[in-house]
A and B are shown apart, each in its own frame.
Chain A
Amino acid sequence: MGVAKYTRDEKDRITGVEYQSGIKVKPVYTPADLEACGFDYQRDLNDPGEYPFTRGIHPQGYRSRAWTMRQYSGFGTPEQTNERFKLLIANGQNGLNVAFDLPTQMGLDSDDQAAQGEVGRVGMAVDSLRDFELAFKDIALDKIGSGLTINAVASIMLAMYQAVAEKYGYRKEIISATPQNDILKEIVGRGAWLYPPRAGVKLIGDTIEYSVKELPRCNPVSICGYHLRESGATPAQEIAYAIQIANTYIDEVLQRGLEIDDFVGRFSFNINIYGNLWETVAKFRAAKKMWARTWLNATGPASRIKRCFSSGACLAAAVRV
């Protein structure tokens, strides 16, 4: 099915719309529909920047403050990647999103037999701190924040990022990084995992705990509904699994004696954009409300569902006809 299926009567009027996920909607809505579902503005929608953050965490959306632009980039050697980073920043990009090659993602050195044929492809190769130093040379790490798109070894990459920043004279308190660091999603949806689930969750707990104590501007985990959707989940399953995975990491950190408000604001999300625009908007809004109602109270720190990717399916080469 395409992004939406319309049924029509004999006069060509639309009688029903079914979105890709199978959800049926009416062609036209009126205030009577809001009344029928017991809609309460403050509870169910509210202003932008207000609990339950249905319309986002910024009071004026992105009208007074632009979003961060960080194109996923990185390939070949750290020198080539550094050149690319500088080109992107020179062209107006205000953040980085680092792509690592698969050997790095799987914790292998570039000279490992299993890495052959894949070194420097789909991302840059990192074997040691020296590679990180070259990749981030002459980047203003006090102004540019970095997404580190890596999971199984994300804790090591975050440590390297801090080490490089400090070497270049930036205090750890001012650097901003978001390692993807969602190991359960790798096990469920993407396949680049190294440790079994329990050990993976412990490692993520370590990263969150460390970031809360040492790296005040870092978001130690980005929960990826995106990959679950790409590997076959429906939109509803995508959000359900993503929030349940986040809950698992939260339970791990709570067990260590931290308070929920100490760290819940550090959670970032990466949700799939796919197919019908309105269905996608509704999914984002539902996800934000669910997250707020699960973990936030109306006066607590605003956690965010702040990041969205397009889908790999949408990015695939155009169909040859």
Chain B
Amino acid sequence: MKVLIAKPGLDGHDKGAKVICHTLRDAGIEVIYTGLHKSVEEIVSAAIQEDVDAIGLSMLSGAHLYYAEKIISGLKAKQAGDIIVFVGGVIPDRDMEKLRNLGVEGIFPGGSPLNATADFLHRKIGDK
């Protein structure tokens, strides 16, 4: 299994993203981290080039709806709609439903147990 952890947009807080990278690695998953300040195009293109099974968006900036929508439609436009998109970070309760309607399959707001993300990926993707 191969996962891309991405920091879309202008926010520079990536301790959470790095902690998730380490946790997934320790759970036996191959992880690629985009680094800070990535655009929709950069994230979609990295995911396709690296042939990942899933993309995790680390969002603390309040722009989660915008970026989830753009990245999911960007993947579909490149015939990569099978890549699972999940989101973690500062996600208000009122946006959970909206994110799911956009096609986000896993949401991990502050307070989620650390292993929840790896469990979700193993459940969704199996032991690929």
Are the CB atoms of B67 and A117 closer together than 8 Å? yes
Report the bound CA distance from A252 to B128 in whole Å. Answer: 55
Question: Are B14's CB and A121's CB within 8 A?
Answer: no
Number of interface residues of A (CB under 8 A): 26
What CA separation (Å) do A108 and B11 show in the bound complex? Answer: 13
Which residue of the partner chain B has the closest CB to A108? B10
Choose one: B15, B39, B61, B70; the contact of A121 (CB below 8 Å): B61
Within the complex, which residue of B15, B65, B112 is in contact with A231, where a contact is CB–CB below 8 Å? B15
Do the beta carbons of A186 and B12 come within 8 Å of each other? Answer: yes
Docked CA distance A192–B63 (Å): 16
Query: Which residues of chain A have C-beta atoms less than 8 A from B65's C-beta?
Result: 117
Interface string of B47-70 (1 = CB under 8 A from A): 000000000000001110111001
Are A320 and B12 interface neighbours, CB within 8 A? no
Which chain A residues border B9 with CB–CB below 8 Å?
102, 114, 117-118
The minimal Cβ–Cβ distance linking B27 to chain A, given in whole angstroms, is: 21
CB-CB under 8 A for A191 and B36, given A117-B63, A118-B9, A232-B15: yes
**For this complex, into which size category does the number of interface residues on chain B fall?**
20 to 34
Inter-chain CA distance A85–B9, complex, in Å, is 28
Distance in angstroms between the alpha carbons of A186 and B12 in the assembled complex: 8
Q: State which of A105, A114, A118, A320 has its C-beta within 8 Å of the C-beta of B62.
A: A118
The answer to whether B15 touches A114 (Cβ under 8 A) is no
| A18 interface hit (Cβ, 8 Å) | no
CB distance from B87 to the nearest CB of A (A): 14
Are B62 and A316 within 8 A (Cβ)? no
The residue in chain B whose Cβ has the minimal distance to the Cβ of A112 is: B10
Asked if B10 and A103 sit within 8 Å, CB to CB, the answer is yes
When chains A and B are docked, how far (Å) is the Cα of A231 from the Cα of B112?
Answer: 19
A23 interface contact, C-beta 8 A: no
B70 proximity list for chain A (CB < 8 A): 117
> What is the CB-to-nearest-CB distance from A277 to chain B, in angstroms, rounded to a whole number?
23
Question: Shortest distance in angstroms between B12's beta carbon and chain A's nearest beta carbon?
Answer: 2
- The verdict on A159 contacting chain B, using a C-beta distance below 8 Å, is no
Chain A residues within an 8 Å CB radius of B39: 114
Are A317 and B111 touching (Cβ within 8 A)? yes
* Cβ–Cβ < 8 Å partners of B15 in chain A: 230-232
Q: Across the interface, do B12 and A118 meet the contact criterion of CB distance under 8 Å?
A: no
0/1 string, A172-214, CB within 8 A of B gives 1: 0000000000000010001111000000000000000000000
Residues in A neighbouring B110, C-beta threshold 8 A: 316-317
Instruction: Determine whether B74 belongs to the interface, using a CB cutoff of 8 Å to chain A.
Output: no
Cβ contact within 8 Å between B14 and A319: no
A28: interface (CB < 8 Å):
no
Are A190 and B63 neighbours in the complex by a CB distance under 8 Å?
no
Q: When chains A and B are docked, how far (Å) is the Cα of A117 from the Cα of B111? A: 25
Kindly list chain B residues whose C-beta atoms are within 8 Å of the C-beta of A114: 9-10, 39
The residue in chain A whose Cβ has the minimal distance to the Cβ of B7 is A191
B13 at the interface (CB under 8 A from A): yes
A118-B62, A121-B62 given; name 7 further pairs at CB < 8 Å.
A114-B9, A114-B10, A122-B61, A191-B14, A193-B12, A231-B13, A320-B109
- Measuring CB to CB, which residues of chain B are less than 8 angstroms from any residue of chain A? 9-15, 36-37, 39, 61-63, 65-67, 70, 90, 109-112
Residues of A within 8 A of B (CB): 102-103, 105-106, 108, 114-118, 121-122, 186, 190-193, 230-232, 312, 316-320
Closest 9 CB pairs of A and B: A191-B12, A117-B66, A121-B62, A102-B10, A117-B63, A319-B111, A316-B110, A192-B12, A317-B110
26 CB < 8 A contacts A-B: A102-B9, A102-B11, A102-B61, A103-B10, A108-B10, A116-B66, A117-B9, A117-B63, A117-B66, A117-B70, A118-B9, A118-B10, A118-B61, A118-B63, A121-B62, A122-B61, A186-B12, A191-B12, A191-B13, A192-B10, A193-B12, A230-B13, A231-B13, A312-B13, A316-B90, A317-B90
